[in-house]
Structure 1
Amino acid sequence: MKFNFLVLGVVSIVVFGFVTKSERTFAEKEYKLVWSDEFSVDGVPDEKNWSYETGFVRNHEKQWYQKENAYCKNGFLIIEAKKEHKVNPNFISKNHPDWTKKRDSIKVTSSCLITRDKHSWQYGRFEMRAKIPVAKGMWPAFWTLGVKGNWPENGEIDIMEYYRGKILANVAWKSDKKDTQWDSTSHLLSDFKKVNWANEFHVWRMDWDANSINLYVDNQLLNETSVTGTMQGKNHKVFPFKQPHYLLLNLAVGGDQGGSFSRASFPSKYVVDYVRVYQKK
């Protein structure tokens, strides 16, 4: 998820690469599972793993985040965006300079689950199997933020981000330049050469170590970022990708990147089968 700041996009050209069965077997022997949520118990997501953002948070998005829109059912986590009219409890004035306080009402609700202050990891393999919503205006994401520093100093990794017909894989950080630095790739859904691709489950993965951050979907390499390349600034106080990161799972609506939506977009459901973190043995 991109924050509401000026950004400088560094666009990489990526040729989809496939990982062979033998390579996957080798990787499975190399890693051990250190944390997971399989969402196997119906009801509220496990409070030992997740907390929630509340309110209007970032990017001028339309949804009001609340925990009620996230629930487990039949072995899946469901994050649901829906039309819901409420009074904005933080409203002050329609002329207020803070956009979160100038909206008098809430018209869309959704959820953002985070592991901050509960779980974080430095390096490893991060995986999510999920079916993402692609209705007009939907903006689902599976991403990480560093535990130290303010954005973008702490570093951001978008393992999965979708909006306006595109799958994105991004890494963002602060450098000595004025604007936030981005290593970002974008792929149209049509690039995946399957008519029903968006209606199926897919596995998003990050392999991250001290040298590189590699982002995949279904073993197709989408983006590769050099960790060393993010540490070129002279004024670094935090090295964003040499520190633990926590996870975020959210379904945003509209805003700076999500674009317009219609009544037909609701309800939309982001359905997650599992989230797993592996580290090298």
Structure 2
Amino acid sequence: MSILKNTFYTVLILISAFQVYGQQNSATLPDFSEPKQIEGYKLVWNDEFNRTSKPDSNFWRHEVGFKRNHELQWYQPENAICKNGVLTITALREKVKNTKYEANSTDWRLNRKEGNYTSSSINTRGLKSWKYGRFEVRARIDSTKGSWPAIWTLGDKGPWPANGEIDIMEFYIKNQKQSILANAAHLGTHREAKWNSKVISLSYFLAKDPKWLEKFHVWRMDWDEKAIKIYLDDELLNDIDITNTKNPDGFNPFHQEHYFLLNLAIGGENGGDPTLSKFPITYEVDYVRVYQKN
């Protein structure tokens, strides 16, 4: 009996070990399962990136050139590719001519003759937008210095920041620490961007799981007429009251439709100096899913 009992417990231990290994291993791989059903919600749009090509042009547009925050990268479509169930945005250290170059311009986007880095930024502007719902993005980020990946939305109407910005995820250096951010911004009284920000040091997540950066994680936004709640792997990061987030003209940008943006910036005002960093830097997105209440 003792031999049988010992064998039984050994089998249980092995099963448990394989289950743990399977869970850990699956976290590093794309999720090819069907989007889950959520009680009270309906899946209204999703992109699983299960194609071998550029992102679907029915859903996504590309930004081209230098765009914002004095970032170093030149955005171009070539750096975004779908393969093996994942959208991979790759940042490269490479020379690229600024096709919009104007020698006498005072605009930094135009007076740079060339760039030293390339990357991609895609968005659903004019193609897909939503007002309220549950938004889920499964992604894996790269912590190399200079890396600034983001999952965010902008309102359809109005110039920034009057149109409203929601950062479901940003990763960059804040207070001299690599950090995960969950933010929202609208137009303040003095025509500035008024932010509601939550900053969590990357070290907080690494303390819980030293292999955190090797894995995909699920960023989620639950958005209704009262609040924007941003989660990471079901942990609430920021709870933003939007009942009175009005611009000076009375318009509330979080009560309008927003569109998605996915991008990997390099350097600039927050990304850090990538001069000594090893390239390529990658940002992988497994899926984007939008649910709305029935």
Q: Is the structural similarity TM-score above 0.5?
A: yes
C-alpha distance in 2 between matches for 1:234 and 1:174: 7
Q: Which has the larger radius of gyration?
A: 2
Is the counterpart of residue 266 in structure 1 residue 279 in structure 2? yes
- Residue of structure 2 equivalent to 1:204: 219
C-alpha distance in 2 between matches for 1:55 and 1:177: 30
Do the aligned partners of 2:244 and 2:252 also contact (CA within 8 Å) in 1? no
- Residue of structure 2 equivalent to 1:239: 252
Shift of 1:76: 0.4
Question: What is the percent sequence identity of the aligned residues?
Answer: 52
C-alpha distance in 2 between matches for 1:188 and 1:234: 33
Tell me the secondary structure at the aligned position of residue 56 of structure 2: coil
User: Structure 2: which 5+ runs fail to align?
Assistant: 1-36
C-alpha distance in 2 between matches for 1:83 and 1:170: 29
C-alpha distance in 2 between matches for 1:234 and 1:92: 35
C-alpha distance in 2 between matches for 1:171 and 1:86: 33
Shift of 1:91: 1.6
Do the aligned partners of 2:146 and 2:277 also contact (CA within 8 Å) in 1? no
Is the counterpart of residue 101 in structure 1 residue 110 in structure 2? yes
- Residue of structure 2 equivalent to 1:129: 138
- Residue of structure 1 equivalent to 2:11: none
- Residue of structure 1 equivalent to 2:45: 35
C-alpha distance in 1 between matches for 2:195 and 2:256: 18
- Structure 1 vs Structure 2 CA RMSD: 1.3
Shift of 1:178: 4.0
Tell me the secondary structure at the aligned position of residue 86 of structure 1: strand
Letter in 2 for 1:179: E
C-alpha distance in 1 between matches for 2:190 and 2:114: 38
Partner deviation per Cα, 1:149-191 (whole Å, 9 max, x = no partner): 0000000000000012100000000132342210001001111
- Residue of structure 1 equivalent to 2:93: 83
- Residue of structure 2 equivalent to 1:169: 182
Tell me the secondary structure at the aligned position of residue 68 of structure 1: helix
Letter in 1 for 2:188: S
- Residue of structure 2 equivalent to 1:24: none
- Residue of structure 2 equivalent to 1:17: none
Shift of 1:264: 3.2
Shift of 1:234: 4.8
Tell me the secondary structure at the aligned position of residue 270 of structure 1: strand
Count of aligned pairs: 252
- Residue of structure 2 equivalent to 1:49: 59
Do the aligned partners of 2:75 and 2:121 also contact (CA within 8 Å) in 1? yes
Shift of 1:121: 0.2
Shift of 1:263: 4.6
Do the aligned partners of 2:96 and 2:118 also contact (CA within 8 Å) in 1? no
Is the counterpart of residue 251 in structure 1 residue 264 in structure 2? yes
What TM-score, normalized by structure 1, do the two folds share? 0.87
Tell me the secondary structure at the aligned position of residue 101 of structure 1: helix
Shift of 1:239: 1.8
Partner deviation per Cα, 1:81-117 (whole Å, 9 max, x = no partner): 0012122112222x63100112111210000010000
User: Structure 1: which 5+ runs fail to align?
Assistant: 1-26
Letter in 2 for 1:43: S
Partner deviation per Cα, 1:226-270 (whole Å, 9 max, x = no partner): 111312x5522x320000000000000000111211353310110
Tell me the secondary structure at the aligned position of residue 261 of structure 2: strand
C-alpha distance in 1 between matches for 2:248 and 2:270: 31
- Residue of structure 2 equivalent to 1:143: 152
Letter in 2 for 1:96: S
